[in-house]
Amino acid sequence: MIHADDGILSQEQRLMRDSCRSFVDDVVTPFIRSNWQREWDMSPGERLPSAILEGAEAIGVRTLGVPEEFGGIDLEKETEVRTFALISEEIARGDSGLADKLVQNWKVSIVLRQFAPKHLQEKWFPRLLEDPKFLLAHCLTEPRGASDRWLPYNVPEASMHTKAVLDGDHWVINGRKQFISNGFDASLYVVYANTDPSVGMLQGTSSFLVPRGTPGLTITKCNETMGCRFMNNGELVFEDCRVPADHLLVKSTALASAGQYFRAGKIIQAAKNLGVGVACFERTADYVQNYVQGGRILIKHQAVALRLADMATRIEAVRSLVERAAKAVDEAHPDADILCNMAKVYASEEIMKVATHALELHGGNGAMLEFGIEKLFRDAAIFLHMDATVDVSRMKIIKNMFPATAGKYAGPES
Amino acid sequence: MKVVVAVKRVADPNVKVRALADGSGVDLANVKMTMNPFDEIAVEEAVRLKEAGHATEIVVVSVGPEKSAETLRTALAMGADRGLLVRSDAVVEPLAVAKILKAVAETEKPDLIIVGKQAIDDDANQTGQMLAALLGWGQGTFASKIAIGGAAIEVTREVDGGLQTVNLPLPALVTADLRLNEPRYASLPNIMKAKKKPIDEKTPADYGVAVEPRLTVVRVHEPATRKAGIKVGSVAELVDKLRTEAGVL
Amino acid sequence: MTILVLAEHQDTQLDEATAKAVSAAGRMGGDVHVLVAGSGCGAAAEAAARLEGVAKVLLADDPSLANRLAEPVAALVVSLAGGYDALLAPSTTSGKNIMPRVAALLDVMQISDVIAVEGPDLFQRPIYAGNVIQTVRSTDARKVLTVRVSSFPAAAVTAATRPIEAAAISADPARSSFVRSELSGSERPELTGARIVVSGGRALASAENFETVLAPLADRLGAAIGASRAAVDAGYVSNDLQVGQTGKIIAPDLYIACGISGAIQHLAGMKDSKVIVAINKDPEAPIFQVADYGLVADLFEAVPEFHATVAEKMRA
């Protein structure tokens, strides 16, 4: 209970899960518990010591998604997304921000292995593998909108503001990207930009590889977020940022062809929040079995037991849906998109309730920064808004289920 | 140099194991299982010997049920080269394990055998010493440090009151204590690679070893739990109680 | 029934573990003989001959037995085994090193770490770090066992002395040689044998605090210092001081836990202590559930005060 059922996992998945759990229990959790102040360090680079990333590196979780021919690992293709989910959950059990830092690498590595020209894969994968601090970021969201805008009303007026124009053998990018996971720290960015203003965004958006340090790319700030603070969210400005023509990953149909890795990303993210829920449950179960009120341990008070049961039930329900959705993605089921969005919504809202119970059951201690429960609560809360808001995700569910009616563009306001 | 390491699948040390209500054994249903922590240290030491150029091949052996193959797979992912599962669904006592391992050693002809100093389930702390005795080898138990020197090995042992260092001609047997090293985690890429390493399967009968237990478990029970005592209000009261009531100061 | 107890000793003196093993052997019924094997160990044999319940002492005094290496001592015990129904040693590191070797050579399944003798062939022993107790019956004709010394009282020392006989020395298998021994230089008693243990957790917050806050109290009480896994993991003390399931399992007369919350892992290592004191500023810490005396206080104030109070009482 609470954790994944060993019976549905392959031997390799179980061993991977065990390694991740040991790493979290031995390294991540002790660090987080005894350094609770560090997430509030206002020098973003100082928050997470390099030893943690090096530890993640030692178990090989930073470079999932990198093909074996470049020194990465080829997971079993039939269960790859389920394996990603399992690992994401385990790491997030220790720290959701750390998990986020790492999973961005997987997500972008999948993009690179699918769309980057061979010579760029040969250039960047080895660098990613060599340097434990090498992070990747995926730049989609813009100040004017993100998931709310690309619902997708696939019309020119909904397209991205960031634009890329071909000038000789270079693309010139101009625009802003905000709320970018790993945006502040990444060494390499995948950037989405409009390349044809006359068509809808599914036909007119292209993706580019932009290395950090490219003239014209400025990382303007690290966003101080309420949760997941060990992942440094950033804002980027592109001012006549020139990248060689071969750095174009997907011409025009970048968003249309993004489905496959977007789906994996949704699962990874939902599983990450599930890990937060598991941490909430473990901490709370331990607490209520050890701490005494009125002469008996808390769990013997029925009001406490009922809340704990509610936490367990919600976690199991989220797990069932995440597993179902992950399987659908692995098997390219036609309903995969819908299930992914459902998993995102459910993992957001149910785990938020789990975290609320955890906070409540810890009494005053729940509100104390040094106790670490309020951190889980913040990590759960921020997820409501990560990887699309819950309401936008709901809209996508309905638009996918009823494309002819709900999915139809009603035209601009007159 | 060839190294054999023996590993056991046991309940995770972080899990509090409970006696079955009927006293017939312990409840291991749904308990997370893992490699015995001292055996992990043994595997790690063998891998380090290989990385340092001393060992050429590491064979990892487990005596136990089918699921022990997973424990072997973990050892392979840590860096062992091949596995051998001696399958037995019945409980195999340390003496019988030692006999099986002796037979394995006679086939494999290792220069060094490393085992954990004890398994954290039965806490017997016997298998290594028994195996050394049956093979007529020297033993370096409770090792906190080993150094290979030509045809011998120097083993620093954790003994009551300090450390003792002994020199053993090879072949020899070492049992690993907590301080010998800090075992690595099996990394995800190595777990995938370990999938391709071979695990051979045998039974105790293949080695002519009878596994009928010599000890009959009559009863298994949990010790009386300690009751919470009293809270004292001050250091003075505490010291007073310890002197007069408890009589321990 | 005749039982041979392998003595724990330092040649010139007999360890208390031997007296405890003798009393455990006495509970099996029958004659108890003690084997003192070593080099220049006559004094230890004489001390063994004064233990109540001992019928005879066998003295194996030979340079090959210096340092009590497993191979020659096991060969010696095996050579004597024919005259005994049971062979017993305290479960010290030496006993644990030698006895399984003896058992295998005799084709006997050893019973390790016995905590209670229920009959000549029926014993209790802890498994899963003492979370569970197993009662086992040995079907071997000859028994080989090690006994946990903290579970048995020491046999009394009497004025009367029993005969000491020289034992025939068997050939040294010469499968190992002694290089050196480094006994810990610390004046403090060894953690596993100490009567009092003062233990610290992560709340100590630094290696220095172990020395400046905990050590004075420990030294005043003649106590050993222990630590929780959290304190060891944080690098405050070396891991040979770790008390717990993966560290040392101890049962002192008095265990003083300072700033230790009381994780299951830790409790497994100290819950058999006769008296447990917990000092912790968190009144809800689980350690209070097993403590005989709990003091809710900041250890940085309470421990120095404890030290001062004890110092004062001892002067008085």
ipTM of the complex, rounded to two decimals:
0.93
pLDDT value of position A147? 60
CB contact under 8 A, B242 and C306: no
pLDDT value of position A410? 66
C113 and C211 belong to one structural domain: no
| Residue C264 assigned ligand-binding role | yes
The pLDDT tens digits of the residues spanning A185-221 come to 999 999 999 999 998 888 899 999 999 999 999 999 9
In a domain, C297, yes or no: yes
Whether residue A149 has pLDDT greater than 60: no
Domains of chain A in start order, with CATH, are: 6-130 (1.10.540.10), 136-256 (2.40.110.10), 257-401 (1.20.140.10)
Residue of C nearest to B127 (CA): C100
- Point out the residue among C233, C284, C286 whose CB comes nearest to the CB of A30: C233
Neighbours of A165 (CB within 10 A): 13
CA distance C60 to C51: 18
CB contact under 8 A, C284 and A290: yes
More confident of the two residues C247 and A349: A349
Distance from CA of B50 to the nearest CA of A (A): 19
Distance from CA of B228 to the nearest CA of A (A): 11
* Look-up of token digits 């999938």: B195
Task: For residue A150, name the pLDDT band (cuts at 50, 70, 90).
Answer: low
Query: Under a CB-based contact definition with an 8 Å cutoff, are residues B113 and B131 in contact?
Result: yes
CB contact under 8 A, C202 and A291: no
Residue of C nearest to B217 (CA): C136
C268 and C161 belong to one structural domain: no
The pLDDT tens digits of the residues spanning C32-65 come to 999 999 999 999 999 999 999 999 999 999 999 9
CA distance C316 to C304: 18
C58 and C201 belong to one structural domain: no
Distance from CA of B238 to the nearest CA of C (A): 7
For chain B, domain boundaries: 2-244
Task: Indicate which CATH number applies to the domain containing C92.
Answer: 3.40.50.620
Interface size between B and C, measured as CB pairs under 8 A? 258
In a domain, C182, yes or no: no
CA distance C258 to C287: 10
* Look-up of token digits 């195999």: B92
CB contact under 8 A, C233 and A291: no
Total of domains in chain C: 2
Whether residue A148 has pLDDT greater than 80: no
The pLDDT tens digits of the residues spanning A270-303 come to 999 999 999 999 999 989 987 878 878 899 999 9
C17 and C128 belong to one structural domain: yes
Interface size between A and C, measured as CB pairs under 8 A? 14
C88 and C147 belong to one structural domain: yes
Query: Under a CB-based contact definition with an 8 Å cutoff, are residues C257 and B205 in contact?
Result: no
C210 and C67 belong to one structural domain: no
Which of C284, C287, C290 best tests the A interface by mutation, with the highest count of A CBs <10 A? C284
CA distance C119 to C85: 13
Which of B164, B165, B211 best tests the C interface by mutation, with the highest count of C CBs <10 A? B164
Fold of B2-244: Rossmann fold (3.40.50)
CB contact under 8 A, B235 and C140: no
In a domain, C80, yes or no: yes
CB contact under 8 A, B191 and A87: no
Residue of B nearest to C265 (CA): B14
In a domain, C178, yes or no: no
Task: For residue A411, name the pLDDT band (cuts at 50, 70, 90).
Answer: low
* Residues of chain B contacting C122 with CB distance shorter than 8 Å: 218
Residues of chain A above pLDDT 70, percent: 96
C153 and C214 belong to one structural domain: no
In a domain, C173, yes or no: no
Task: Indicate which CATH number applies to the domain containing C248.
Answer: 3.40.50.1220
Q: E-strand spans in C201-307?
A: 224-227, 254-258, 275-280, 293-296
Query: Under a CB-based contact definition with an 8 Å cutoff, are residues A397 and A348 in contact?
Result: no
The answer, for C234 touching chain A at a CB cutoff of 8 Å, is yes
Residues of chain A above pLDDT 90, percent: 71
Give pTM, 2 decimals: 0.88
Distance from CA of C287 to the nearest CA of A (A): 9
pLDDT value of position A198? 92
Whether residue C300 has pLDDT greater than 90: yes
Domain that holds residue C38: 2-166
C207 and C66 belong to one structural domain: no
Chains in contact with chain C (at least 3 beta-carbon pairs closer than 8 A): A, B
Low-confidence ranges of chain B (pLDDT < 50): none
- Which of C150, C166, C182 is where one domain is finished? C166
Q: How far is CA B39 from the centre of its chain?
A: 4
pLDDT value of position A152? 53
Neighbours of C165 (CB within 10 A): 11
| Residue C259 assigned ligand-binding role | yes
The answer, for C202 touching chain A at a CB cutoff of 8 Å, is yes
C37 and C90 belong to one structural domain: yes
